[in-house]
Amino acid sequence: MASENVLSADNQQERLRLPHPWYIVGLVDGEGSFHIALYKDERMKTQLKVIPEFHVSQNSPSKIVLEELQQFFQCGYIKVNHRGSKTDHTYVYVVRNRDDLLKRIIPFFQQYSLRTMKAKDFQFFAKVVHMMNEGKHQTGVGAKGIITTAYQMNDSGKRRKVAQQDLIRIVESSETIRETSQ
């Protein structure tokens, strides 16, 4: 007969188990996102900073789910989602490290496919991370390819604050500056 004691060893082992991979897929389909942040940074060769980000958010009472994700993937960090907001009480699990994305996050979602429109976003995301790993973000042509790919994600970039053409102009101006300084 199983113990009815809530603190029994069997129950403790049950609580310490990591989430099932398909649970993670469902969670990410509902509460996750793949995003490529792009902004001007004159310290970069192309004057464009490219930051790939994998996010999953949860309300504060469910923060434990994010902790389980962090433990499952063994990377990333958890932070307050909108610091300073008096109404938003969510946390977000974030993975930005390219090596972690290449070795942990991308292979996981290649093995366990997403089932919503996020599957398409993931494919573009993985493509950009691989392009960056090949150094393409450091060339004008490569940076333009990354911009084009990133703007195909997340409802074709409809919520982006900077127009795609403005980012391409930044890269083109950096090419002109490098050409004239040689």
Reported as a single tens digit per residue, the pLDDT across 118-144 is 999 999 999 999 999 999 999 999 999
Domain membership flag for residue 5: no
Domain membership flag for residue 179: no
pLDDT value at 178 more than 60:
no
pLDDT value at 12 more than 60:
no
pLDDT value at 14 more than 60:
no
Identify which has the larger pLDDT, 67 or 154.
Answer: 67
Write down the pLDDT at residue 155.
83
For the chain, how many structural domains are there in total? Answer: 1
Domain membership flag for residue 88: yes
Query: Which residue range forms the structural domain that includes residue 81?
Result: 17-174
DSSP 106-143: HHHHHHS---STHHHHHHHHHHHHHHHHTTGGGSHHHH
Identify which has the larger pLDDT, 128 or 61.
Answer: 128
Residue 5: other Cβ atoms inside 10 A: 9
Write down the pLDDT at residue 83.
74
Domain membership flag for residue 69: yes
Domain membership flag for residue 1: no
Split at pLDDT 50, 70, 90, the class of 107 is very high
Write down the pLDDT at residue 3.
46
What CATH number is given to the structural domain containing 148? 3.10.28.10
Domain membership flag for residue 79: yes
Split at pLDDT 50, 70, 90, the class of 2 is very low
Which long-range contacts (C-beta less than 8 Å, at least 24 apart) are formed by 68-72? 68/18, 68/19, 69/19, 69/24, 69/27, 69/93, 71/18, 72/18, 72/19, 72/24
Cα–Cα distance measured from residue 47 to residue 98, given in angstroms and rounded to the nearest whole number: 19
Write down the pLDDT at residue 180.
45
Q: What is the percent of the chain with per-residue pLDDT over 70, rounded to a whole number? A: 86
Mean residue pLDDT across the chain: 87
Split at pLDDT 50, 70, 90, the class of 175 is low
Domain membership flag for residue 3: no
Domain membership flag for residue 43: yes
| pTM, entire model | 0.84
pLDDT (tens digit per residue) in 16-54 = 578 899 999 999 999 999 999 999 999 999 999 999 999
